[in-house]
Amino acid sequence: MTLPSFLSVHSDGTLLAVKLQPRASANEIGEPLGDALRIKVTAPPVDSAANEALVQLLADTLDCSRRQVELIRGHASRRKVIKLHGLRAEAVLRKLVHHLTPDSAAEKGFT
């Protein structure tokens, strides 16, 4: 399986490049945008609320604990890098695709 450019293998997990859209109408995994995956959260970008919502959404989507999802870069930016501790890149990609319908997965470039 070829990995998309927003995922990269790291020694103890996977790095995920994200472009976060706060104040969205719903929390959802969006489409790839160049070298980042668009993720939308309803929380505003105030007092780390959007960052916390991002971490929680990823933990729920990837069925892992919140402590396995670490924001390592981009705390005050829309472009972020997330480290997923102990998760293989192929498993992360499968779980991201699993939360999309087949049509939207194809539309969003996951197939």
pLDDT tens for each residue of 52-67: 999 999 999 999 999 9
Alpha carbon distance 42, 24 (integer Å): 5
Each domain of the chain, given as residue ranges in start order, spans 7-102
Give the amino acid at 94. Answer: R
Centre a 10 Å sphere on the Cβ of residue 111 and count the other Cβ atoms it contains: 9
Instruction: Specify the fold of 7-102.
Output: Conserved Hypothetical Protein Mth637; Chain: A; (3.30.1200)
- For the packed helices 49-62 and 89-98, what is the interaxial angle rounded to 10 degrees? 90
- The reply to whether the predicted model has a pTM over 0.85 is yes
pLDDT tens for each residue of 9-47: 998 999 999 999 999 999 999 888 889 999 999 999 999
| Averaged pLDDT, 61-83 | 97
